[in-house]
Amino acid sequence: MKIRAGLLLATLVAVISSSSAGAASADVPVVARFLGACDIAFLVPSTLHDVSGSVRCQPFTVRIARDASGKEVIPVVEVEVPVSAMDTRNRSRDGQMREMFRSDRFPRIRGAAHDVDVERLRKEIGKGREGKAPLDLILRVRDVERKIRAIASNLKESADRVTFDLEFPVSLGEFDLKAPSVLGIIRVGDKVTVKANFTLTVSRTP
């Protein structure tokens, strides 16, 4: 049951983009470890037609630990997305997108969640008829960091594997990003919809 609980919560907090999540504090014993992956789809509105794209996160790690009171927590989980891998199936458009993100200086977009209460999230996701739960994330784009609210859903769990979806909006303006335009006529909208599918697998190594 403890492993199952850890799996369920780990799915809820692993967010979009990816590197190692970092080790828990030395005084917080780790009770479970998971290896994570995610595939992200994004939809960008424009005055001509919406533009869709995709990218795969880099592999990341989720650790479930026990705090001083004995409660299971996730001290930190971080996910990174390489800007160079973001693909809208149009080379010119992808080049403009990378310029907007200034990928030469800021090659990755980072998402993180901190001090996640495992038990609280398990109870909250079980309340709704559609199995949805809100989750606060810290998103860093270029050198700007903002807190955003994501919604987790479609949770599926087995003995050693968990999958779930995470969806959230991103405002380009809030991250000081200037949307590109084509010939001054076709303009990209401010609100981007991000949908990610996460997979977490129990790690058998310490």
Q: Where are the domains of the chain?
A: 2-202
Percentage of residues in the chain having pLDDT higher than 90? 43
Identify the pLDDT of residue 32: 81
Residue 135: strand pairing partners: 150
| Confidence category of residue 185, pLDDT binned at 50, 70, 90 | very low
Using the predicted structure, report yes or no on whether residue 166 has a pLDDT greater than 50.
Answer: yes
Using the predicted structure, report yes or no on whether residue 78 has a pLDDT greater than 50.
Answer: yes
Could you confirm whether domain 2-202 is CATH 2.40.128.110? yes
Residue 128, helix vs strand vs coil: coil
Query: Tens of pLDDT along 102-153?
Result: 999 999 999 998 887 777 777 777 676 677 888 899 999 999 999 999 998 8
Instruction: Give the number of other Cβ atoms within 10 Å of residue 97's Cβ.
Output: 22
| pTM for this model (two decimals) | 0.80
Residue 171, helix vs strand vs coil: strand
- Spatial CB neighbours of 166, under 8 Å, sequence gap ≥ 6: 15, 16, 135, 150, 151, 152, 153, 195, 196, 198
C-alpha 99, offset from chain centre: 22
Residue 149: strand pairing partners: 136
Using the predicted structure, report yes or no on whether residue 15 has a pLDDT greater than 50.
Answer: no
Which tops the pLDDT comparison, 72 or 146? 146
Identify the pLDDT of residue 190: 85
Which tops the pLDDT comparison, 40 or 184? 40
